[in-house]
Structure 1
Amino acid sequence: MDLYKVGKALCSVIFYPLYRIKVVGKENIPKTGPVIICSNHISNVDPPVVGITNSRNIYFLAKEELFKNKVIGGILKRVHAFPIKRGMRDRNALRKGLDILNENHALGLFPEGSRQKNGEIGRGLAGIGFFALRSQAAVVPCAIIGPYRKFKPLKVAYGKPIDIQSYRDEKASAQVVTDYIMEEIRQLHKIHSEKG
């Protein structure tokens, strides 16, 4: 049994009506090839919401603590999640992420590393810049515009892939690339927040 597909179907049935999810820009996600989905982080529900609002099967990085419980850890592994130590400086996780991209899969990241409960978009960790620079993956910004409230609209907006080739050519630092990607997410969030 493919637990990812089962989980995606179940979450769709629950979350779409519960949060009245509206998806914008889904066509901006490449249907094939390596892609990094970069989203702001406002709730524990963000990973399944990002997972159900696009057509790609996404491999998510998840904090290492979640895998300490054998049951939860086992489920997470079966739905394409893998652990990373806090700070995104975990070499094994970084290597695993690059392997996923080299196999033309989609990698889901929340660059802020932890939830921003005030709704603001914080500074991203350098790990996302590392993945963007070390792979040829398309980098797609995602803005989750909440908050999560039962039966109140929640918008998930996907922007066009971010062109970072010039940063690759210049051998820019991972943090510089991360800051650029986070600014794209902020602008996407601002545009779609104003549109309502």
Structure 2
Amino acid sequence: MAEVNQVSPPRSNRRNFLWILFQWILQGFFAIWLRYQSRGKENLPAKGGGLLISNHQSFLDPLLICLPLTRPVSFMARDSLFRIPILGPFMRYEFVIPINRRTTSSQSFRAAIENIENGNYVGIFPEGTRTTDGSVERFKPGFLALLKRTDIAIYPIGIAGADRALPRGAYFLRPRSVRVVFGEPISAELIREYCERGAQKALLELTHQRVISCQQQAESWLNPDLTS
């Protein structure tokens, strides 16, 4: 089977008509079927690039993150997803950036950097795969390479409930509640300090803990009786 090596070009920071229509439909459907709610989106900048880092619970996650936003997000996703009928063409249309998890893709990182420099959001799930139990797994450090070549903030995001709405191996969306929390950013200045000190491991751990905090907030919001 042929490898996917086409990298999406930097996208405009304006929504296209297809996504606006799709977003409008999903907002109504998810509000009813998933009782979807989010908070903290004011922590994201109104303009300028940014790196969105989230935990990964299901294939729904990119939609759950984008749903309340008025600006587009170019997610980095494994190249094998581009071979799926309907999903693949849609991902290309929405400028999702394919990445081969077995090799380092300089093309993918260049596309991500260009998107950020053009004032767009880039979204990454550093766990590399969906969780099996809802917890936030260890982060892979690949995204740190973007921070060395750009001057941007990290925006941590926590998702809760998506693994119950669409668990691994499921083919149908279950009526389970979902919450998304957009946390306070890790500033570009703080990131620069870590990078200048060569403290990449500490920066990776800080990012991991910020995402865990957001996920725990989302879980507490979702199940207040269990966390009180």
Change (3 A) 1:176 1:134: farther
Q: Indicate the SS of the match to 1:20.
A: coil
Is residue 181–residue 217 contact of structure 2 (8 Å, CA) maintained in 1? no
Is residue 104 from structure 1 mapped to residue 119 from structure 2 by the alignment?
Answer: yes
Equivalent position of 1:36 in the other structure: 51
Is residue 3–residue 78 contact of structure 1 (8 Å, CA) maintained in 2? no
Change (3 A) 1:88 1:23: farther
Change (3 A) 1:87 1:17: farther
Q: Indicate the SS of the match to 1:118.
A: coil
Report deviation, 1:130. 1.8
Question: Which moved further from structure 2: 148-157 or 52-61?
Answer: 148-157
Matched to 1:179, the amino acid is E
Is residue 39–residue 181 contact of structure 2 (8 Å, CA) maintained in 1? yes
Q: Indicate the SS of the match to 2:45.
A: coil
What pairs with 1:141-180 in structure 2 (closer than 5 Å)?
141-146=156-161, 147-149=163-165, 150-163=174-187, 164-173=191-200, 175-180=201-206
Larger fraction in strand: 1
Is residue 21–residue 153 contact of structure 1 (8 Å, CA) maintained in 2? yes
How many pairs are equivalent?
A: 195
Q: TM-score, normalised by structure 2?
A: 0.77
CA distance in 1, matches of 2:185, 2:97: 24
CA distance in 1, matches of 2:102, 2:47: 29
Q: Indicate the SS of the match to 1:54.
A: coil
CA distance in 2, matches of 1:139, 1:87: 25
Equivalent position of 2:214 in the other structure: 188
Q: Indicate the SS of the match to 1:157.
A: strand
Unaligned runs of 5+ in 2: 1-15, 166-173
Report deviation, 1:177. 2.7
Q: Deviations over 1:27-80 (max 9, x none)?
A: 111111011111100011111111113232111111100112464322111112
Matched to 1:8, the amino acid is Q
Q: Indicate the SS of the match to 1:60.
A: strand
Report deviation, 1:88. 7.2
Q: Match for 2:36 among 6, 11, 21?
A: 21
Is residue 159–residue 218 contact of structure 2 (8 Å, CA) maintained in 1? no
CA distance in 2, matches of 1:74, 1:157: 29
Identity %: 24
CA distance in 1, matches of 2:202, 2:19: 34
CA distance in 2, matches of 1:135, 1:180: 18
Q: TM-score, normalised by structure 1?
A: 0.89
Is residue 131 from structure 1 mapped to residue 146 from structure 2 by the alignment?
Answer: yes
Q: Deviations over 1:132-168 (max 9, x none)?
A: 3321122110000114444443110011111323113
Q: Deviations over 1:106-146 (max 9, x none)?
A: 01111111100211101111122222332112211000011
